[in-house]
Amino acid sequence: MPEIINPFDTAGFNLVTMTKGINVIPNNYGRIRELGLFRDEGITQRTVVFDEDNGVLNLLKTQPWGAPAAVNKRGKGKTRSFAIPHIPLDDRISPSDFQGVRQFDTAGLPATLNSVMGKVLGGMRNKHAITLEHLRMGAVKGVILDSDASTLYDLFTEFGISQEVVDMGFDVQTTVVIDKCRQICRYIEDHLFGEVMTGVHCLCDRVFFDALISHPYVEKFYVGHAAFLSNAGIGTDPRKGFFFGGITFEEYSGTATDADGNARPFIAEGEAHFFPKGTMGSFVNYYAPADYIETVNTMGMPLYAKQVMEKAGRWVDVLTESNPLPLCRRPAFLVKGTND
């Protein structure tokens, strides 16, 4: 009788290997990830605590050699804490998933455990990725929402501030749009509070973007922008990086389906969100460790995966989870644009 081997009882399907595997599956979702806005930081607890310090910057006065040094002035710090969301996602693999089943996109090769596991993990990875993009978009907007549109954190409320909202006035032909852009740039600069930036970026929905580029003051600049890309042979969609008035405008179409099957855009119709790029530590993505015995008090990772065999060996549960909290630690510089 041939030896019967449990294919899941190997090093290839333990927590370490599966976690490493799901983390290296390419993330096909996430424009905000592509922008490089957030710095990833693993923590060992389920709550992130940090000190808010505006980082007071003063000009230093010269002193005679040998004279006492000036005393450093520190910003007034406040301690803030945020609980990390827990996002588990499970699936199940049974013998019928690959017993006598042809491997997808092959000329007849039988499905294997590896191919089925890879397909399952890939699909779960994508769902975690789009969820993370949704959370990051919330941090950029200043209001982090759960998948059901309930509020996880309103950063403006948490920090005791009000968001700056600028009516761009696109419906008025005589609006000097570049003045609005300059207003936004200066506001963000004034509220960096010791931070640095390399530029101002705007993610907006298609209604806002169309209103922007069709305004008489802006239209000729957009036409020139599109013509330059075309003439230079740059195959870039002109909607993905229109620089005007010191701001890079980008049409953002992030949308996902919630648990009830409703499609929810990440940016509301007619809105735009302005934020600085190139900051040192204002945008941070915190990750807490998984809810497993093996990961207690370890440094959090973006994703975790493991498998658990049913007692009688009739199926294997595939467990994944992510525990992320993207935060903007200086929400005062987040600006919303409207066309009211």
Reference 57, options 44, 40, 72; nearest CA is 72
Q: Which of 28-37, 84-93, 141-150 has the lowest mean pLDDT?
A: 28-37
Q: What is the mean pLDDT of residues 44-62?
A: 69
How high is the pLDDT of residue 1?
40
Structure tokens at 52: 């808010």
pLDDT exceeds cutoff 90 at 188: yes
How high is the pLDDT of residue 15?
74
pLDDT exceeds cutoff 50 at 296: yes
How high is the pLDDT of residue 76?
62
How high is the pLDDT of residue 28?
64
The answer to whether the CB of 327 falls within 8 A of the CB of 141 is no
Q: What is the CATH number of domain 11-56+81-338?
A: 3.90.1690
3-state secondary structure string across 21-79: HHHHCCCCCCHHHHHCCCEEEECCCCEEEEEECCCCCCCCCCCCCCCCCCCCCCCCCEE
How high is the pLDDT of residue 275?
98
pLDDT exceeds cutoff 50 at 2: no
Q: CA–CA distance from 332 to each of 108, 163, 203, 250 (Å)?
A: 59, 7, 17, 22
Task: Give 9 or 48, the one with higher predicted confidence.
Answer: 48
Q: What is the mean pLDDT of residues 19-39?
A: 80
How high is the pLDDT of residue 102?
65
Q: What is the mean pLDDT of residues 23-52?
A: 84
Task: Give the start-to-end residue ranges of the domains of the chain.
Answer: 11-56+81-338
pLDDT exceeds cutoff 60 at 4: no
How high is the pLDDT of residue 201?
98
How high is the pLDDT of residue 7?
55
**Hey, what's the torsion of the CAs at 11, 13, 17, 21, to 10 degrees?**
140
Task: Give 234 or 216, the one with higher predicted confidence.
Answer: 216
Q: Which of 85-89, 100-104, 272-276, 301-305 has the lowest mean pLDDT?
A: 100-104
Q: How far is CA 122 from the centre of its chain?
A: 19
End-to-end CA distance of the chain: 77
Q: What is the mean pLDDT of residues 249-261?
A: 87
Q: 126: exposed, middle or buried (C-beta count within 10 Å: 0-12, 13-18, 19+)?
A: middle
Q: Tell me, what amino acid is at 205?
A: D
How high is the pLDDT of residue 156?
95
Q: What's the pLDDT tens digit per position in 58-107?
A: 555 556 676 677 676 666 667 788 999 999 999 998 888 877 676 665 55
How high is the pLDDT of residue 100?
67
The CB density around residue 179, as the number of other CB atoms within 10 Å, is: 12
Percent of the chain with pLDDT over 70: 84
pLDDT exceeds cutoff 70 at 36: yes
How high is the pLDDT of residue 104?
60
Tell how strand 247-251 and strand 304-309 pair up. unpaired
How high is the pLDDT of residue 97?
82
Q: Which of 164-173, 225-234, 323-332 has the lowest mean pLDDT?
A: 225-234
Q: What is the mean pLDDT of residues 238-258?
A: 92
* Side-chain-side CA neighbours of residue 273 (13 Å): 21
Tell how strand 39-42 and strand 283-287 pair up. parallel
Task: Give 34 or 60, the one with higher predicted confidence.
Answer: 34
d(CA 192, CA 330): 7
Q: What is the mean pLDDT of residues 311-337?
A: 93
pLDDT exceeds cutoff 70 at 20: yes
In degrees, rounded to 5, the angle at the alpha carbon of residue 48 between the alpha carbons of residues 332 and 162 is: 20
- List all residues 6 or more positions away from 97 whose beta carbon is below 8 Å from its beta carbon: 111, 116
- List all residues 6 or more positions away from 122 whose beta carbon is below 8 Å from its beta carbon: 25
Q: What is the mean pLDDT of residues 308-330?
A: 91
Q: Quote the pTM value.
A: 0.87
Average pLDDT of the chain to the nearest whole number: 86
Structure tokens at 234: 């740059």
How high is the pLDDT of residue 235?
75
